[in-house]
Amino acid sequence: MAKLMAALALTGLVALLAACAAPPVARVTPTPAPTIAADRAGWPERFRIGLFGGDDPNAVIQNAEPFRALLEARLGIPVQIQTGASYSAVVEAMRAGRVDAMEIGPFAYVLAVQEAGAEALAVAVYPQNEANPVYDPAAPSFYYSVYVTRKGSGINRLEDLRGASFAFVDPASTSGHLAPRAGLIKAGINPDTDMRTVFAGSHPTAVLSVWNGRTQAAATFEANLYRLQREGQIEFCAFPDNLSSVVRTPEEIRAVFDACPEGHLAILGFSDPIPNAPFAVDSRLPASFKAAMTSLLLEVKQHPDLVAGLKYWYDLPPPALNLPSVDSYYNSLREIARLLNLDLRELAR
């Protein structure tokens, strides 16, 4: 992880994590001719993509339509979007051969590699400006969980969390539970015995529990703090550049905390970087098909209307990491799973 942090720092990547809500549909006119790959031996007759349906599967399918149309036009085969009621349902669909690709959470992807032979081709990347999403070559393919408190609560350093009341988000949340829990354990704090923890149920609720004095501290993804402040729900001491997903030194974190007025929310510390979700396919697909799909995923950023509708694009992990595969980018999550002795099947439900 030290190598990851150092390499990311060298690249100077910055971004704001995108909103999870379904964005409006963008219209894109795909290139009509299937010009990808001369060798089409063994390609599927149709390409089926599994997505987590969330609270509104129809909105998920509708939002994915321009992307589906682009793939269908360029691959030259029918492309279908299917949704599952849970991450595990999508993983099971690939294991059973009912879908050929998936886009699910990063921990669920690690499970899909283990259970369904999934293979990551590219990583989702989110724009800085949610209101005007455009491709930004400096945007990183990772984000952070942060530990937040209200200045004046008596919590001034991470070690002060011993004995404190603390809000996690959800047991299966990467940035709202798993990554910050791992960070606390690495810092010598056992959340089960050294803290009084609760699960707030959502990222905004976890932060508001601190803002309203119900807990002394909480974990959330960093961009959630900026979003809640823009919405007028909290007062938060942001970094001077007002950006999230930027590598910060301990000195920078401390300086912002010390300058923060009492009563405002402030960041105590950061988790290790969390890789964004990948687009993954069944590893048994032909190499020529996987190469074609990788090329198309990386092409998304060339379509402004598509980026505006999806509010993300795809890229490869930072070249400075010199990784042997896109899958290797998710080894940090495997380390968290080992540290916490996680049952990934339970997390994906």
**Do residue 126 and residue 82 come from a single domain?**
yes
**Do residue 6 and residue 119 come from a single domain?**
yes
**Do residue 83 and residue 100 come from a single domain?**
yes
8 A C-beta contact, residue 8 and residue 236:
no
**Do residue 213 and residue 292 come from a single domain?**
no
Residue-wise pLDDT tens digits, 269-317 = 999 999 999 999 999 999 999 999 999 999 999 999 999 989 899 999 9
**Do residue 15 and residue 128 come from a single domain?**
yes
**Do residue 161 and residue 125 come from a single domain?**
no
**Do residue 258 and residue 292 come from a single domain?**
no
What is the C-alpha separation between 36 and 203, in angstroms, rounded? 41
**Do residue 193 and residue 134 come from a single domain?**
no
CATH number at residue 323: 3.40.190.10
What is the C-alpha separation between 16 and 25, in angstroms, rounded? 21
From residue 18, alpha-carbon distances to 126, 140, 233 in Å are 5, 12, 18
Question: Where a domain ends, among 272, 305, 337?
Answer: 272
What is the C-alpha separation between 345 and 92, in angstroms, rounded? 10
pTM equals 0.77
What is the C-alpha separation between 215 and 168, in angstroms, rounded? 10
**Do residue 253 and residue 335 come from a single domain?**
no
From residue 68, alpha-carbon distances to 91, 150, 318 in Å are 20, 45, 26
Residue 201 is part of which domain span? 145-272
Residue-wise pLDDT tens digits, 104-144 = 888 889 999 999 999 999 999 988 666 678 999 989 899 99
User: With DSSP H G I counted as helix, E B as strand and the rest as coil, what are the percentages for the chain, rounded to 5?
Assistant: 40, 15, 40
Question: Where a domain ends, among 214, 242, 272?
Answer: 272
Question: Where a domain ends, among 251, 272, 293?
Answer: 272
pLDDT at 347 (0 to 100): 67
**Do residue 121 and residue 43 come from a single domain?**
yes
Per mean pLDDT, which of 23-27, 280-284, 316-320 is the most reliable?
280-284
pLDDT of 348 higher than 80: no
**Do residue 192 and residue 252 come from a single domain?**
yes
Give the chain's largest Cα–Cα span. 65
Token pair in block for residue 216: 């002394």
Token pair in block for residue 38: 């001369």
pLDDT of 246 higher than 80: yes
Give the number of domains in the chain. 2
**Do residue 285 and residue 259 come from a single domain?**
no
Q: How many CB atoms lie within 10 A of CB 211?
A: 20
